């Protein structure tokens, strides 16, 4: 995704090879294990399934589904699908973290805009959620998200993704209709981005479960 002229904002030295990178991004049970302890306590404290808990559980499921899809498409050497799914993954991180930081948003996120009641928080735009991440947790979240949007919206980077530079000296390129990485480095960048987003997803999901539990306790 990143051209040679662009700074790489991820650590590629953590990988010994492409095979090693594809191995370390695997997660056997999604994010289940990282939230299990807090989640069990939250569920035990709940008398029944409520809308807050429904969102928490759905967030855990969606996070796992997107992560597994990204890993699968990285293995299939399909950058177009990888970066489109990664964009959704980043948006999910941002939504979960914002909701954890503003527990009242649990009332909003499970409703359509026309169903909001007086006093409820309004739905936040995707860009405002990204801004929240960038200002509170990562100064690089916004530029990384912008690149993911360019790829998923068929912007300039996506246009050149199917063209591989074979020889810089001869200005020789190749094109393929089948998905492939523009370079090995592009694949490594995707793996590194997924690891960083996955780390933040772990923290965000734990914060969400804890925020739900605290809100539940305050209401009883």
Domain assignments of the chain as residue spans, ordered by start: 18-219
**Residues 148, 83 contacting (CB under 8 angstroms):** yes
Tokens found for residue 167: 């020889």
Angle at the Cα of 39 from the Cα atoms of 34 and 45, rounded to 5 degrees: 160
- Burial class from Cβ neighbours inside 10 Å (0-12, 13-18, 19+) for residue 181 reads buried
pLDDT of 73 reads 98
pLDDT of 178 reads 86
pTM: 0.90
Q: Mean pLDDT lowest for which of 69-83, 113-127, 169-183?
A: 169-183
pLDDT of 167 reads 73
Q: Is the pLDDT of residue 159 over 70?
A: yes
CA 195, 134, 91, 43 torsion-angle sign:
positive
**Residues 82, 190 contacting (CB under 8 angstroms):** yes
Q: What is the mean pLDDT of residues 88-100?
A: 98
**Residues 161, 79 contacting (CB under 8 angstroms):** yes
What pLDDT, in 10s, does the model give residues 23-68?
999 999 999 999 999 999 999 999 899 999 999 999 999 999 999 9
Q: Is the pLDDT of residue 7 over 80?
A: no
- Please list, in sequence order, all residues whose beta carbon lies within 8 angstroms of the beta carbon of residue 144, skipping any fewer than 6 positions away: 9, 90, 193
**Residues 173, 180 contacting (CB under 8 angstroms):** no
**Residues 9, 144 contacting (CB under 8 angstroms):** yes
pLDDT of 1 reads 38
More confident call, 155 vs 72: 72
**Any bridge partners for residue 165, and if so which?**
173
Could you give the CA distance from residue 166 to residue 163 in angstroms, rounded to a whole number?
Answer: 9
CA 87, 92, 97, 102 torsion-angle sign:
positive
Q: What is the mean pLDDT of residues 72-101?
A: 97
Average pLDDT of the chain is 91
Q: What is the mean pLDDT of residues 162-177?
A: 80
């Amino acid at each position: 995704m990143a051209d040679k002229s662009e700074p790489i904002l991820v650590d590629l030295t953590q990988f010994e090879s492409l095979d090693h990178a594809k191995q370390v991004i695997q997660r056997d049970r999604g994010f289940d294990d990282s939230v299990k302890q807090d989640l069990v306590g939250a569920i035990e404290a709940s008398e029944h399934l409520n809308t807050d808990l429904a969102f928490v559980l759905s967030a855990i499921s969606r996070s796992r589904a997107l992560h597994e899809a990204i890993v699968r498409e990285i293995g299939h050497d399909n950058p177009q699908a990888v970066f489109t799914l990664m964009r959704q993954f980043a948006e999910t991180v941002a939504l979960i973290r914002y909701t954890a930081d503003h527990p009242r948003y649990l009332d909003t996120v499970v409703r359509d805009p026309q169903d909001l009641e007086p006093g409820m928080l309004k739905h936040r735009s995707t860009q405002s959620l990204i801004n929240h991440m960038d200002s509170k947790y990562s100064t690089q979240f916004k530029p990384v998200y912008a690149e993911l949007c360019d790829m998923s919206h068929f912007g300039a980077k996506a246009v050149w993704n199917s063209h591989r530079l074979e020889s810089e000296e001869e200005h020789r390129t190749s094109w393929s209709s089948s998905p492939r990485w523009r370079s090995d480095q592009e694949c490594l960048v995707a793996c590194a981005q997924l690891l960083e987003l996955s780390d933040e997803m772990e923290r965000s999901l734990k914060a969400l479960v804890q925020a739900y539990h605290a809100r539940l306790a305050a209401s009883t």
